[in-house]
Amino acid sequence: MKNEAITSRDVDFAKWYTDVVKAAKLCDYSNVKGCMVIEPNGYAIWERMQNVLDGMFKETGHQNVYMPLLIPEGLLKKEGELIEGFAPEVAWVTHGGSKELEERLCVRPTSETLFSDYYSNAVNSYRDLPMKYNQWCSVMRWEKTTRPFLRSREFLWQEGHTVHATQEEAEAETRLMLNIYKKFFEDYLAIPVITGRKTEKEKFAGAEYSLTIEALMYNGVALQSGTSHYFGQKFAKAYDISFTNKDNKLEYAYQTSWGVTTRMIGALIMVHSDDFGLVLPPKIAPKQVVIVPIGNVSDKVSEVYQALKDSHISVYVDDSNKSPGFKFKEAEVNGIPVRIEIGERDLKRDVYTVVRRDTQEKMEVSADTDIASYVLELMDNIQNNLFTKARKRRDEMTYEAQTVDEMREIIENHPGFIIADWCGDQACEEALKEVGGLKSRCILEGENATHKCVVCGRDAKHKVVWGIQY
């Protein structure tokens, strides 16, 4: 059933995207310009993401904390690069009640400054280290153009901030978190990602270097999906985070930060979803199975429901007053991975129907099927199919180029990731913006350049992935 509320993905991708967001009731525009209301269906996906990631963070020794929402201007300005990067896009609180404040406060765009300020008091000896903290919160960046989940003035995220006694340990942490993000994207969201290092131009303001995971959307546009930054001692020096090391000498500490956001919900839509609505990988779907009863079938419905429940499958029965056809469509648009239709007539033949959302395939199963095992296997299958399909498409849309003309030809006809060598000169990087807005996504680590710089023809230093970004 084509969903009339949803524009075809191949006709108008941008319109299709917002139609899916709306039809699946993920979020709504609000009366606050550039801010969105995350509705129950959208928030449930975020909660599921939080739950899985938070478990991964805790398993690797991280603890959650909460830092203030507001940052005094003076504190924000201590680290010069950071303020340069964020000042144009923060919201300023100037009044408390009816009184003007002596110092204005910004709504946090990110919390390096607050964590550093805290660590400067809390860290004294190498015995206090490492401190590996994370917080789940909202942040605000005064963006001009906004799109649901992809770019909004306020968004939800987690920001990890850690402080270590040695460079080695901090660098290992930076990489550990990158790998956790990669694992989460591939194993749970079924989205393949490329990992690498950001160029100097694209790295986080104030970082020594930034690592990133980059995903490719259905329309060939790249999405920066998670970043992990190594700060070295930059913030430690600006905020005076020093400690007595094992040799009883005073030393500045080493820091990292890393984050992922509600943007991941946008990625799920743009990688997996289709003209019928949302498609969710079973491992991240808040509701994995819906049972639709047709006629007088309550015994069988209870039996199937209980069997799935007992196997810890997230299942619900749609016993509302709507027609079966309406329920099917609703389950489809909401991206429920598996739909079970139990009909009175079918049961007389000792069968009922299982439908998988990813391929829309309908399977008739015998009424005495071990349904829990069947669904568990089917969900594995769906999860793998979504990942394989996304990886195949990503691979097909990943090109290599040795000249700017080749790059232009690719971008104009079938955009995607373009791998091309680069001399390391920022002028060459910026020149590529003329090619349909191409930007460097990341430097591939551990791979040597094999050609000349795609722009200037001089010797190349790096193999770089380029793309058009959201």
| Site residues, a copy of itself (CB under 8 A) | 28, 30-32, 35-40, 43-44, 46-47, 63-72, 75, 87-98, 104-105, 107, 114, 117-118, 121-122, 133, 137-138, 140, 142, 153-154, 156
Rounded-to-10 torsion of CA 198, 201, 206, 210: 0
Residue 415 token pair: 């955009």
Half-sphere exposure of 219 (CA within 13 A, CB side): 21
Residue 77 phi/psi, 5-degree rounding, is -80, -5
Please, what is the minimum distance in Å from the beta carbon of residue 212 to a copy of itself?
25
Which CB atom, from 39 or from 81, has the smaller least distance to a copy of itself?
39
Please, what is the minimum distance in Å from the beta carbon of residue 285 to a copy of itself?
16
Instruction: DSSP for 229-261, please give it.
Output: EEEETHHHHHHT-EEE-TTS-EEE-EEEEEEEE
Per the CB < 8 A criterion, the answer to whether 176 and 226 are in contact is no
Beta pairing, strands 315-317 & 254-261: unpaired
E strand spans, 253-388: 254-261, 289-294, 315-317, 338-343, 351-356, 362-366
Please name the helix (run of DSSP H) or strand (run of DSSP E) that holds residue 305, with its range, or none: helix 298-310
Please, what is the minimum distance in Å from the beta carbon of residue 106 to a copy of itself?
9
Which CB atom, from 89 or from 400, has the smaller least distance to a copy of itself?
89
Residue 211 token pair: 């690592």
Please, what is the minimum distance in Å from the beta carbon of residue 153 to a copy of itself?
8
Q: Spell out the SS3 assignment of 358-410.
A: CCCCEEEEECCCCHHHHHHHHHHHHHHHHHHHHHHHHHHCEEECCCHHHHHHH
Contacts of 209 (CB under 8 A, 6+ apart): 197, 198, 203, 229, 230
Q: Quick count: other Cβ atoms within 10 Å of Cβ 369? A: 16
Which CB atom, from 173 or from 421, has the smaller least distance to a copy of itself?
173
307: left (phi over 0), alpha (psi -120 to 50) or beta: alpha
Which CB atom, from 66 or from 373, has the smaller least distance to a copy of itself?
66
Which CB atom, from 162 or from 383, has the smaller least distance to a copy of itself?
162
Which CB atom, from 48 or from 182, has the smaller least distance to a copy of itself?
48
Strand partners, 419: 400, 465
Please, what is the minimum distance in Å from the beta carbon of residue 420 to a copy of itself?
34
Please, what is the minimum distance in Å from the beta carbon of residue 199 to a copy of itself?
25
Which CB atom, from 98 or from 296, has the smaller least distance to a copy of itself?
98
Which CB atom, from 258 or from 466, has the smaller least distance to a copy of itself?
258
**Of residues 114, 115, 159, the one with CA closest to residue 135:** 159
Please, what is the minimum distance in Å from the beta carbon of residue 73 to a copy of itself?
11
Please, what is the minimum distance in Å from the beta carbon of residue 67 to a copy of itself?
6
Per the CB < 8 A criterion, the answer to whether 300 and 352 are in contact is yes
Which CB atom, from 88 or from 446, has the smaller least distance to a copy of itself?
88
Please, what is the minimum distance in Å from the beta carbon of residue 118 to a copy of itself?
5
Which CB atom, from 67 or from 317, has the smaller least distance to a copy of itself?
67
Per the CB < 8 A criterion, the answer to whether 178 and 193 are in contact is no
Q: How far apart are CA 77 and CA 80, in angstroms?
A: 6
Please, what is the minimum distance in Å from the beta carbon of residue 450 to a copy of itself?
43
